[in-house]
Structure 1
Amino acid sequence: MLALGAAAAILTTTVGAAQASPKQQVDPYDPDLGPNVTVFDPTTPQAEIQATLDELADRQIDAEMSTNRYSVLFTPGEYGSAEDPLQARVGYYTEVAGLGADPGDVDVHGAIEVYNRCLEDGGTSNCIALNNFWRTLSNLHLTVDGTGQDGCRATTNFWAVSQAVSMRRLDVTGPISLMDYCTAGPQYASGGYIADSRFDTEVLNGSQQQWLTRNSEMPSWSNGVWNQVFSGVEGAPDDSVFPEQPYTTLDTTPVSREKPYLFVDDDGRWNVRVPSAQTETRGVSWADGLTEGRTIGIEDFFIAQPGDSVREINTNLSRGKHLLLTPGVYDVADTIKVKHADTVVLGMGHATLTAVDGAVPMTVTDQPGIVVAGVTIDAGNAESPVLLQVGKPNGDHSAQADPANPITLNDVYFRVGGPHIGKTDTALEVNADHVLIDHTWVWRGDHGIEDFDLTDGFLGDDERWATNTGRTGVRINGDDVTATGLFVEHFQEFNTVWNGERGTTVLYQNELPYDPPTQADWTRPDGTLGWAGYKVADDVTEHTLHGGGVYVYNRNNTDIVTENGFEVPDAPGVRLRHVMTVNLNDGTINHVVNGVGDAVPPSTSGSPEYVVEYPAP
């Protein structure tokens, strides 16, 4: 077992100026993954596994703004039993994953859970899941067993989460709930993501406000709040009575590529499996054996740790190496440049790149098959023009693009503000054609520990508006870009701008910024009240959106008005299906899309205004 490092050992290290070291030697049977990775095998005593997981959970349950990052991995075998179930809680910045080639290679008997977080009165009240961000569960079989827990806790496996959380490649036997109904009863939860997973029991959605389930199997799904989307899911609910039941169902997923994953083969060698891109898929990728794709030996990766320089990382990428980012925070004063086709960048334990001195943390060239997965990118205190740029601006991108092998982003997250002041013009900019964005959360933080004057506006919002600056969350300039699970929040102008042709989004979730101080701060130069949460450029002729929501909570000034949640050109090839606006508490959105749909002022709080199809058939 590789032991967990102490919290003090997780240091934020500026990378940028050091000289490149000699060529890295990687032991394919025992790679050095750093101090923040724990690897269990079936010979590890159960008591030791349980104690380690409990200690990590206690450390991370309230560590929302910390620099701690962890990965907990299980080699193939069985863990826990009916006599002694293994029961774990998963805290912030923690990845729990099996190391099998197939989910069934790692069998956990017990529970792997997230409960509501209690935010007030010393952790005894205001118990919600709204801030349960940044955690991952993947690639194992879970037999749910709550034996030994109290009566309520023993009823199911709780996964009460919100943004930047994914469940992938799971095979679950037994009940699962996406809300925690034991801690003060059902409480708020706000969004998550399931992909490539199979459940043998009805999934209880409960109080989840929005959710995307993609390419999975389940017997049924119970209830929903505002916006539940299913794409290529066996057992998905019927959406014919929308909006009485807030479901949007696609029989197949138009474009998909499952996230790369680590596995240990029968000989004990470490590898990364890179699934192939697919079109019009349904169900799990592993139903008939190994997920279609290619296997890359761990020795073909440069295994980075936070002390490594950008120069060293780029040297290895230029040599044709792939990049594995071990858990930690990497302060990046220069740009990590991903240039070669089919390069894989895989982050472990929510590895985080933070911009220093206005740097662009990462660029990806217009080469097919590049995959960036499991990476969080934070803005720094000097403005960056962009945090991740995919494809060079301008120019003809069609020559490099391969529709059968798209550039892919899986579980790539962005943050502006929160643990420190952050500034960027745009978080994610996509210039290349045929790009797949498979689950992202692009967040300009509405809360944090930046030491703002809490008397300045609502909880320091006047200062936050002027200091934590982010104009646009996502800007899509390329053609034929697909997004499955696009969550974008609180940016100061258009949250998402789509300039490319033939774009497709499957679930869009947006909260407009909480903190405009005045209507003048939230009025466009042409006099339009506010910026839409989702903007398709006026000259676009083809675009499709399935299941979209724009929410308003203008807590800093309750009189703020936004004209439209969505703005799109009136063109025959531009279609929105199942879109809505909702008022969370304060402020007003006048219309859902292009002047269609009634207003959602504070008096309608919690009651969405839906448009079934735009334009109307």
Structure 2
Amino acid sequence: MTPRRRLRRLPGLLALAVALSTAPAATGVAAAAPPQQVDPTRPDLGVNVTVFDPSTPLAEIQAKADAVYAQQVANEMGTQRYALLFKPGTYGTATQPLQIKVGYYTEVAGLGASPQDVTINGKVEVYNRCRPNADGSNNCIALDNFWRSVSNLRLAVNGAGQDGCRQTANFFAVSQASPMRRVEVTGGTLSLMDYCTEGPQYASGGFLADSRAGDVVNGSQQQWLTRNSTIGSWSNGVWNQVFSGVEGAPSEAGFPVPPYTTVEDTPVSREKPYLFVDAAGAYQVRVPSAQANTRGVSWDEGQTAGRTVPLTEFFIARPSTSVQEINSQLARGRHLLLTPGVYDVARSIAVKRADTVVLGLGLATLTAVDGSVPLTVADVPGVVVAGVTIDAGAQESPVLLQVGSRNGNSSPKKSGATNPTTLSDVFFRVGGPHVGKADTALVVNSDHVLIDHTWVWRADHGVEGFTAGVNGDTDRWRTNTGRTGVVVNGSDVTATGLFVEHFQQHNTIWNGERGRVVLYQNEIPYDPPSQADWQEPDGTPGWAAYVVGDHVQQHRLDGGGVYGYQRNAAPGITTATGFRVPETPGVQLHHVMTVHLDGIGVIEHVVNDVGGRSDSSTQGAPQYVVDFPAP
């Protein structure tokens, strides 16, 4: 019998259906442009979106998927973006399965109202990326398998024609910014590690939500969040495995062996919006509603709770579309669909109306130009931004995404307790594909915001051509500048899957009351040229990665890790502590750890002055604090 989803619907959500018609008009924008005409059954989603239906010859589908993969398998810093979409139906047979491999900047998604409406008899997989060593062997890892997604389909695992090692599992060997959502896996194992290539086979960081699977092999995943899902079993873990609202989740009783953190119910959740085709062939966007205290998948008892917005109510943008036109259409009350590509943004895309949806396809990317803030969201409830990547540009931006203004929640109408503004699969980059500079990547000033899976990354590698220092790190430190990854000033903000890495001061600063975080993952920067470059003004060695403001009275983190690896300085860089929080009963950290990987750097403590020292004597061995403050 299928376990039933346990939830408490947030009150007041019935008003969502009429919110757009009653939202106040925005002011201070360009003159309104005429509405875009969108064909409801054959919308123009751009040349990089391919839509298949069950009548498409299997060989044609396989050839297209193979061609995209061949281009994207190693295109880590490229500008190409793709989406492969499947209308309701079945693809592949027992003897001729459809086997798709997913490379960089590729979205594979079903267009059904339920994941079970699209069945792939075959696989949708991600393998290790292999690079040759000097001795002719291969170095095969998944540590850089970023920026791709799979969602809203049923995988009937079929490895016919593959070698014996691969036949019984669907491999999804990914690291950050590679979500799997709304997927049902049947007939085989879901493996988060590609153990069929040469080693070392490492993977680091991933996200599974609203999905159902049988046996799950974690393998070498160093940290992972599974949220609101149903699983049959879970094998092993490395440092930090977190389960929130997961039916079948393993117990955390033995922590840290194995390193499991299990939150019985997800405190606040909202599933990511998804595109689907209805029975009449019209394209729609389902916008799930916010829920409290949930577990299990959202679709086991019918359609995911929420509202349906016709695609005809969206403005469909392309990389050539001006920001002025986008803002004009948003001001008219349109939602925004960003088709795959890279958008140069010299002035802010401004979302000012409540309940607006901004949905990206194929990891659509906004790049700051001339120090702009690429995206701003006003102090209004119910805005959803999903599937968007935001890059810093060569001139420093004060922020890349700002949600609300400081002290902007003075009116109850601006509070979204039952309808939080939500960021789902929103990713940030400072450096990597080009030089990037930003003071802060993400600033959340509004109250009642939900961050559901984000990776906020100051690049530790890229194609910028740096040379000075080890791996160009001295150049990188001086050029790709990013002070802070995330600053949260709003109250009652929840984050499920907060990945923040390599910023040059505190990576995350949480000033708002009643913050709740489920899985925090951080690496402090690889590239400080010296200890003098990596210390606070008062002389404190290094910068704590996760800081809760001294004034905060209530805050909770379940499952957090701070990792150190330095390349540029000897005898090494010292960081005083991974987490710094006020010592008050209402501020609670559960299952937090630090680890140092290079054998030369040091993290003195886990949280404040508590927890063991991570250094050469404990290289690769995490130092854990079960609870802070201790019960």
TM interval, short-chain normalised: over 0.9
Residues 246 and 296 of structure 2 are in contact (CA less than 8 Å); yes or no, is this contact kept in structure 1? yes
Q: Distance in 1 between matches of 2:62 and 2:540?
A: 57
SS for the counterpart of 2:287 is strand
Q: Distance in 1 between matches of 2:117 and 2:622?
A: 43
Q: 1:321 to 1:300 in 2, by over 3 A?
A: same
State whether structure 2 residue 200 is matched by structure 1 residue 183. no
Residues 398 and 433 of structure 1 are in contact (CA less than 8 Å); yes or no, is this contact kept in structure 2? no
What residue identity is the alignment partner of 1:402? Answer: G
State whether structure 2 residue 525 is matched by structure 1 residue 551. no
SS for the counterpart of 1:49 is helix
Which residue in the other structure is 2:490 paired with?
478
What residue identity is the alignment partner of 1:448? Answer: G
Q: Distance in 1 between matches of 2:532 and 2:416?
A: 45
Aligned pairs for 1:469-508 within 5 A: 469-508=481-520
State whether structure 2 residue 431 is matched by structure 1 residue 413. no
What is the number of residues matched between the two proteins?
Answer: 598
Q: Distance in 1 between matches of 2:534 and 2:131?
A: 30
* Residue-by-residue CA offset, 1:159-216 (whole Å, 9 max, x unaligned): 00000010000111021100000111461100100000001x2100000000000000
SS for the counterpart of 1:183 is coil
Q: 1:488 to 1:307 in 2, by over 3 A?
A: same
State whether structure 2 residue 44 is matched by structure 1 residue 27. no
What residue identity is the alignment partner of 2:622? Answer: P
Q: Distance in 2 between matches of 1:296 and 1:132?
A: 33
State whether structure 2 residue 334 is matched by structure 1 residue 321. yes
What residue identity is the alignment partner of 1:441? Answer: W
Q: Distance in 2 between matches of 1:121 and 1:429?
A: 41
SS for the counterpart of 1:72 is strand
Please list every run of 5 or more consecutive structure 1 residues that lacks an aligned counterpart in the other structure: 1-16
Q: CA deviation at 1:402?
A: 2.0
State whether structure 2 residue 533 is matched by structure 1 residue 521. yes
Residues 140 and 199 of structure 2 are in contact (CA less than 8 Å); yes or no, is this contact kept in structure 1? no
Q: TM-score, normalised by structure 1?
A: 0.95
Which residue in the other structure is 1:347 paired with?
360
Which residue in the other structure is 1:6 paired with?
none
The match for 2:454 among 427, 433, 440 is 440
Q: CA deviation at 1:393?
A: 2.1
Q: Distance in 2 between matches of 1:180 and 1:198?
A: 20
Q: Distance in 2 between matches of 1:224 and 1:153?
A: 21
Q: 1:397 to 1:188 in 2, by over 3 A?
A: farther
Aligned pairs for 1:176-325 within 5 A: 176-185=190-199, 187-199=201-213, 201-325=214-338
Q: CA deviation at 1:338?
A: 0.3
Q: Cα RMSD (Å) of the superposition?
A: 1.4
What residue identity is the alignment partner of 1:196? Answer: D
State whether structure 2 residue 472 is matched by structure 1 residue 460. yes
The match for 2:184 among 171, 174, 190 is 171
* Residue-by-residue CA offset, 1:240-297 (whole Å, 9 max, x unaligned): 1101110000110000000000000000000000000000000000010000000000
Which residue in the other structure is 1:127 paired with?
140
Q: Percent identity?
A: 68
Q: CA deviation at 1:397?
A: 4.5
Q: Distance in 1 between matches of 2:121 and 2:200?
A: 26
Residues 379 and 409 of structure 2 are in contact (CA less than 8 Å); yes or no, is this contact kept in structure 1? no
Residues 242 and 559 of structure 2 are in contact (CA less than 8 Å); yes or no, is this contact kept in structure 1? yes
Q: Distance in 1 between matches of 2:285 and 2:216?
A: 30
The match for 1:424 among 420, 438, 445 is 438
* Residue-by-residue CA offset, 1:562-584 (whole Å, 9 max, x unaligned): 00000000011000000000012
Q: CA deviation at 1:603?
A: 2.9
Residues 19 and 311 of structure 1 are in contact (CA less than 8 Å); yes or no, is this contact kept in structure 2? no
What residue identity is the alignment partner of 2:421? Answer: I
Q: Distance in 2 between matches of 1:458 and 1:37?
A: 40
Q: Distance in 2 between matches of 1:97 and 1:397?
A: 40
Q: Distance in 2 between matches of 1:32 and 1:367?
A: 30
State whether structure 2 residue 111 is matched by structure 1 residue 94. no
* Residue-by-residue CA offset, 1:402-456 (whole Å, 9 max, x unaligned): 2110000000000000010000000000000000000000000000000112xx1
State whether structure 2 residue 628 is matched by structure 1 residue 614. yes
Q: Distance in 1 between matches of 2:443 and 2:528?
A: 24
State whether structure 2 residue 30 is matched by structure 1 residue 42. no
SS for the counterpart of 1:219 is strand
Residues 302 and 321 of structure 1 are in contact (CA less than 8 Å); yes or no, is this contact kept in structure 2? yes
What residue identity is the alignment partner of 2:251? Answer: D
Q: CA deviation at 1:398?
A: 5.8
What residue identity is the alignment partner of 1:183? Answer: T
Q: 1:198 to 1:359 in 2, by over 3 A?
A: same
State whether structure 2 residue 134 is matched by structure 1 residue 144. no
Residues 157 and 168 of structure 2 are in contact (CA less than 8 Å); yes or no, is this contact kept in structure 1? no
SS for the counterpart of 2:184 is strand
SS for the counterpart of 1:165 is coil
State whether structure 2 residue 166 is matched by structure 1 residue 153. yes
- Tell me whether 398-407 or 430-439 shows the greater mean CA deviation: 398-407
Which residue in the other structure is 1:12 paired with?
none
SS for the counterpart of 2:230 is coil
Which residue in the other structure is 1:591 paired with?
605
Q: CA deviation at 1:22?
A: 4.0
